[in-house]
């Protein structure tokens, strides 16, 4: 049995732990070998690879990043289906040349989508979930989330000191374009006064009133944790209406262009944080500062939980291969690990539901979520 492995998308703490678990597990299987493709799907298409042996896994459990390298390149980025098909054919050609029996892809939403395209073309695939914002459909937790959660919580803790001393509002920008899991959990764990997530459009006046109420009670500072995809009620209404009108037209190339522009506007997380800061400073009269975590969330040593999760996912992945299970993602559901069909994972985001226990907890401790 020859197994291929690649890490794709953005780098995340815990990737090396997963590669290590896969490699060490394969080393226990007589006649099995492991081939690593470098820099994700780009390296696969360009036929850049390395044989992986026991020595390659020494000392990497605790290191961040990935020894295989990664890239954001994916098959569906190409503008034409014909080119997309040619790249998939090239990837299949490389896989066959190396006599790889099954390919393990470790990554997030885009990786799952690209893996499904390969699976649909006849390649045997198993994927492992990786997402610091924990938005992957079909799994409760993904590699990297716990480490990013620890960094977010520590950032909120540290900002409390500065905000309290200077009587300021401090806004912490956190990754989370479509889902607010990371911002919500980190905000609750750190005791943020306001938490804003993409699933709940916020009313700026509600936030300002909550801050002014704190001020009236003698608390002259506030910490706001905001996901990069969080938007106001007004913007949410505008985007929804624009999409509805555009979909009603359904003619010419303008529809895709409008959707792309709207997506880009919603993705401008840093600008949104600056705008939010300016608005709150005007409405409350309190000096307001911002801090963006950005790629700090992707670096550093993986947490114990991420190392443990990545190790379990990697070893269970090999068990599934031995059982003949393919074209699935290894998902975490409760206390169990489940083979989730790629067809159920691809193209979906796992969002925070309105009555999720994390949200209920936030409301019970008095956190303002911008909606009431």
Mean pLDDT of 157-168: 89
Mean pLDDT of 223-242: 82
Please determine, for residue 362, whether its predicted confidence score (pLDDT) is greater than 90.
yes
pLDDT computed for residue 163 by the predictor? 87
The per-residue pLDDT for range 333-344, each reduced to its tens digit, is 999 999 999 999
DSSP structural state of residue 178: S
pLDDT level of residue 104 (50, 70, 90 thresholds): very high
pLDDT computed for residue 263 by the predictor? 53
pLDDT computed for residue 84 by the predictor? 59
Q: Is 34 helix (H, G, I), strand (E, B) or coil?
A: strand
pLDDT computed for residue 78 by the predictor? 47
Q: How far apart are CA 237 and CA 231, in angstroms?
A: 10
Give the chain's mean pLDDT. 89
Q: Give the rounded distance of the alpha carbon of 23 from its chain centre.
A: 24
Poorest-pLDDT segment among 86-95, 109-118, 233-242: 233-242
Q: How far apart are CA 346 and CA 119, in angstroms?
A: 11
Please determine, for residue 292, whether its predicted confidence score (pLDDT) is greater than 80.
yes
pLDDT level of residue 165 (50, 70, 90 thresholds): confident
pTM above 0.85, yes or no: yes
pLDDT computed for residue 258 by the predictor? 45
Q: How far apart are CA 189 and CA 246, in angstroms?
A: 41
Mean pLDDT of 281-310: 93
pLDDT higher for 71 or 369?
Answer: 369
Q: Is 129 helix (H, G, I), strand (E, B) or coil?
A: strand
190, two tokens = 């750190």
Catalogue the E-assigned strands of 15-132: 33-37, 49-52, 102-107, 125-129
pLDDT computed for residue 247 by the predictor? 52
Please determine, for residue 102, whether its predicted confidence score (pLDDT) is greater than 90.
yes
Helix, strand, coil distribution of the chain in percent, nearest 5: 50, 15, 35
What are the beta bridge partners of residue 339? Answer: 330
Pick the catalytic residue: 11, 39, 133, 193?
133
Q: Are β-strands 288-292 and 169-174 bridged in parallel, bridged antiparallel, or unpaired?
A: parallel
Q: Which residue is it, tokens 């924990």?
A: 134
Mean pLDDT of 300-321: 96
pLDDT level of residue 20 (50, 70, 90 thresholds): very high
Instruction: Let me know if 133 is a catalytic residue.
Output: yes
Q: Is 292 exposed, middle or buried (0-12, 13-18, 19+ CB in 10 A)?
A: middle
DSSP string, 113-134: HHHHHHHHTT--EEEEEB-TT-
Q: How far apart are CA 146 and CA 304, in angstroms?
A: 9
pLDDT computed for residue 242 by the predictor? 52
% of the chain exceeding 70 in pLDDT: 88
């Amino acid at each position: 049995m020859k197994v291929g492995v690649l890490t794709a998308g953005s780098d995340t703490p815990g990737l090396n732990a997963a590669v290590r678990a896969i490699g060490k597990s394969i080393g226990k299987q007589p006649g099995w070998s492991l081939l690593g493709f470098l820099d994700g799907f780009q390296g696969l298409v360009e036929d850049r690879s390395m044989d992986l042996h026991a020595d390659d896994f020494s000392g990497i459990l605790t290191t961040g990043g990935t020894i295989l390298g990664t890239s954001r390149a994916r098959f569906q980025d190409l503008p034409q289906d014909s080119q997309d098909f040619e790249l998939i054919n090239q990837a299949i050609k490389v896989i066959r040349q190396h006599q790889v029996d099954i390919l393990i892809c470790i990554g997030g939403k885009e990786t799952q989508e690209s893996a499904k395209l390969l699976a649909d073309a006849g390649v045997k695939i198993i994927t492992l979930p990786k997402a610091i914002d924990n938005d992957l459909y079909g799994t409760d937790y993904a590699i990297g989330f716990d480490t990013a959660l620890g960094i977010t919580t520590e950032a909120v803790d540290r900002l409390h000191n500065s905000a309290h001393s200077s009587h300021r509002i401090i806004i912490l920008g956190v990754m989370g374009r479509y889902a607010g899991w990371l911002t919500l959990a980190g905000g609750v764990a750190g005791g943020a006064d306001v938490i804003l997530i993409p699933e709940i459009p916020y009313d700026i006046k509600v936030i300002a009133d909550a801050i002014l109420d704190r001020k009236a009670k003698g608390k002259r500072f506030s910490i706001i944790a905001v996901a990069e995809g969080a938007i106001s009620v007004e913007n949410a209404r505008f985007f929804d209406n624009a999409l509805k009108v555009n979909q009603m037209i359904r003619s010419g190339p303008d529809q895709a262009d409008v959707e792309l522009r709207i997506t880009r506007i919603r993705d401008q997380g840093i600008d949104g944080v600056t705008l939010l800061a300016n608005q709150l400073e005007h409405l409350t009269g309190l000096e307001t500062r911002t801090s963006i975590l950005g790629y700090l969330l992707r670096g550093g040593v993986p947490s114990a939980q991420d190392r443990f999760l990545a190790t379990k996912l990697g070893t269970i992945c090999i068990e599934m291969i031995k059982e003949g299970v393919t074209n699935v993602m290894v998902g975490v559901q409760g206390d169990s690990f489940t083979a989730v069909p790629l067809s159920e994972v691809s193209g979906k985001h796992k969002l925070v539901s309105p009555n999720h226990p994390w949200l209920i907890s936030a409301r019970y401790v008095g956190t303002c979520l911008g909606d009431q």
